[in-house]
Amino acid sequence: MNSATVRNLLVRGMLAGLAAGVLALLAAYFLGEPNVDKAIGFEAAHSHEHETEVFSRSLQSTGGLATGVLLYGVAFGGIAALAYCFALGRVGRFSPRATALLLSGCALLAVYVVPFLKYPANPPAVGDPDTIGRRTTLYFLMMLFGALLAIGVTVLGKRLAPRLGTWWATVAAVAAFAVLTGAAYALLPAFDEVPADFPATVLWRFRLSALGIQVVLWGAFGLVFGELAERLLNPRPAEAARPPAVTVPH
């Protein structure tokens, strides 16, 4: 793949990331923010400390949220586009559109779902401030582990395919992914810092909305970027020129 194609895919990836970020922003605003407000209300009702807000809650839930999500969408879109350039043609004989969807699904699983199941997102009022540094480090460690493991089992599946066939090689790769992920879950420490009186419904809905936002983000990116990549790499043949219209004299 030449540098011009990589550059064009990078630009399209960032545009697709921006479009996906807009959809994720809507999902975050309508699904996530109501649960954040409920968690903040719980925290305010049970806290005796009065902290001065640097930014108002309305600014955080609108301008701050939009800035964070859209910048994240553009950044991850560019990174995903570069990963796509490497993966295209190496993971199987898939079309550019199918490769984009496959990459998005695998990235969602490896980079978000794997660490999320071990260290799920917590709303305000949940979590000990003294352990936030350790929890953040372990979360990013799980992200790195998931990404490297996804690459490793993909290589494993391709090497096993000539001997086992595509189906059983895929089964073996998925099984290896599940076993190694389970081992990591068992070895890494867990944190149970949810207050006993915190509403379980709010916690469940917050975590479900956090997962839903990521599904929207990655799913939209896969669809949009896949279409843009398909048009770039497999352009449609130009339509045959139509014969000029014949003017009939009156």
pLDDT digits (tens, 9 = 90+) for 49-95: 545 454 454 545 455 567 777 888 888 888 889 888 888 877 767 88
* pTM of the predicted structure, to 2 decimals: 0.79
Residue showing tokens 């595509």: 166
Range of the domain at 214: 1-44+60-126+197-233
pLDDT in tens, 151-178: 899 889 889 988 988 889 999 999 999 9
Judgement on whether residues 31 and 67 belong to the same structural domain of the protein: yes
User: Is residue 243 in some structural domain?
Assistant: no
Quick one: CA dihedral 102, 218, 126, 136, positive or negative?
A: positive
pLDDT in tens, 16-49: 999 998 898 888 888 877 777 776 676 666 555 5
Judgement on whether residues 101 and 72 belong to the same structural domain of the protein: yes
User: Is residue 105 in some structural domain?
Assistant: yes
Q: What is the pLDDT of residue 221?
A: 94
Q: What is the pLDDT of residue 57?
A: 46
Judgement on whether residues 185 and 142 belong to the same structural domain of the protein: yes
Residue showing tokens 């400390």: 49
The residue ranking higher by pLDDT, 124 or 133, is 133
Q: What is the pLDDT of residue 200?
A: 83
Pick from 86, 107, 81: which is nearest to 18 by CA? Answer: 81
Judgement on whether residues 35 and 119 belong to the same structural domain of the protein: yes
Q: How confident is the model at residue 203 (pLDDT cuts 50, 70, 90)?
A: confident
User: Is residue 247 in some structural domain?
Assistant: no
User: Is residue 21 in some structural domain?
Assistant: yes
Judgement on whether residues 64 and 163 belong to the same structural domain of the protein: no
Residue showing tokens 């809650």: 57
Q: What is the pLDDT of residue 93?
A: 77
Q: What is the pLDDT of residue 42?
A: 63
Judgement on whether residues 172 and 206 belong to the same structural domain of the protein: no
Q: What is the pLDDT of residue 47?
A: 59
Judgement on whether residues 84 and 16 belong to the same structural domain of the protein: yes
Task: State yes or no: pLDDT of 185 exceeds 50.
Answer: yes
User: Is residue 205 in some structural domain?
Assistant: yes
User: Is residue 176 in some structural domain?
Assistant: yes
Judgement on whether residues 14 and 111 belong to the same structural domain of the protein: yes
The residue ranking higher by pLDDT, 4 or 115, is 115
Report DSSP letters for 120-138, one per residue: ----TT-S-GGGHHHHHHH
Number of domain units in the chain:
2
Residue 85 CB contacts under 8 Å (≥ 6 apart), including other chains:
1, 5, 6, 9, 10
The mean pLDDT value for 96-113 works out to 91
Judgement on whether residues 111 and 204 belong to the same structural domain of the protein: yes
Judgement on whether residues 94 and 204 belong to the same structural domain of the protein: yes
Judgement on whether residues 40 and 159 belong to the same structural domain of the protein: no
Task: State yes or no: pLDDT of 179 exceeds 70.
Answer: yes
User: Is residue 55 in some structural domain?
Assistant: no
Judgement on whether residues 65 and 119 belong to the same structural domain of the protein: yes
User: Is residue 248 in some structural domain?
Assistant: no
Residue showing tokens 């399209």: 12
Buried b (16+ CB within 10 A) or exposed e, 3-21: eeeeebbbebbbbbbbbbb
Q: Are 220 and 26 in contact (CB under 8 A)?
A: no
